[in-house]
């Protein structure tokens, strides 16, 4: 009888340990965006999300962010305002929208620019997750920092050539809205 109780106790301890590990891994914030990695060919430069968060909270840039803003002659306080601009959206509606064919088409376009560094094929899933988690964490409101902090992998690649191509096609906000609202509809039109 002693031999049957020891394996049972060991199994229970193992299950408890595994459940504890699982809870730790799946708790909010356990996996989050830590770095934006800007990539263009052999060029690769990382900016810590913590540095962007510091800029958003204080209006003061540090590290590489400070260098980039100085070179581009950008006012850190103005960039902080942009990072803090939030949008309130109904989580349920956005979740449903992102799972429609149009939502998928928009996410696919964005996933060519922004995607997990070591898993570019998971860009759509990561973007959808970051938006929904960011909204959930912000009680229905999201901004750039909450999006980055909700991103489900530590490193997010920003493909500079793809970003520049997107910006070239959308030189104004109106063109950007049209780019994302009309173009995905092209994939839904029946073939001639």
pLDDT of residue 127: 93
Q: Flag whether 47 is in a domain.
A: yes
Residues spanned by the domain of 175: 32-186
Contact at 8 Å (CB) between 46 and 155?
A: yes
Asked if the structure places residue 180 within a domain, the reply is: yes
Q: What is the pLDDT of residue 172?
A: 56
Distances (CA, A) of 169 to 97, 128, 173, 183: 24, 23, 11, 11
* Residue 150 domain flag: yes
Q: Please report, for residues 37, 112, 171, the alpha-carbon distance to residue 146 in angstroms, rounded to integers and kept in the order given.
A: 17, 21, 26
3-state secondary structure the chain: CHHHHHHHHHHHHHHHHHHHHHHHHHCCCCCCCCEEEEEECCEEEEEEHHHHHHHHHHCCCCHHHHHHHHHCCCCHHHHHHHHHCCEECCHHHHHHHHCCHHHHHHHHHHCCCEEECCCHHHHHHHHHHHHHHHHHHCCCEECHHHHHHHCCCCEEEEEHHHHHHHHHHCCCHHHHHHHHHHHHHHCCCCCC
Give the pLDDT confidence score for residue 77 in this predicted structure. Answer: 92
Tell me whether residue 126 is in a domain.
yes
pLDDT tens across the length of the chain (192 residues): 444 444 444 444 333 333 333 323 333 444 567 888 888 888 888 999 999 999 999 999 988 888 888 888 889 999 899 899 988 889 999 999 999 998 898 899 899 999 998 888 888 999 999 999 999 999 999 999 999 999 999 999 998 888 888 777 765 555 556 655 555 444 444 445
Q: Give domain status of residue 90, yes or no.
A: yes
Q: Do the domain assignments include residue 156?
A: yes
Position 73 in a domain: yes
Domain count of the fold of the chain: 1
Residue 94 lies in a domain: yes
């Amino acid at each position: 009888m002693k031999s049957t109780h020891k394996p049972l106790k060991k199994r229970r301890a193992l299950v408890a340990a595994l459940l504890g590990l699982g809870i730790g891994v799946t708790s909010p914030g356990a996996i989050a965006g830590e770095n934006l990695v800007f990539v263009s060919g052999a060029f690769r430069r990382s900016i810590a999300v913590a540095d962007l968060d510091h800029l958003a909270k204080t209006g003061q840039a540090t590290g590489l962010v400070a260098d980039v803003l100085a070179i581009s002659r950008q006012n850190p306080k103005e960039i902080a305002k942009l990072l803090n601009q939030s949008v309130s959206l109904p989580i349920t509606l956005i979740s449903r929208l992102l799972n429609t064919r149009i939502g998928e088409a928009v996410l696919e376009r964005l996933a060519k620019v922004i995607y997990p560094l070591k898993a570019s094929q998971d860009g759509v899933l990561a973007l959808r997750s970051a938006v929904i988690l960011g909204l959930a964490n912000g009680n229905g409101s999201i901004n750039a920092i909450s999006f980055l902090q909700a991103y489900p992998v530590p490193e997010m690649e920003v493909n500079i050539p793809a970003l520049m191509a997107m910006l070239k096609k959308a030189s104004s906000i109106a063109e950007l809205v049209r780019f994302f609202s009309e173009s995905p509809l092209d994939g839904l039109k029946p073939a001639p």
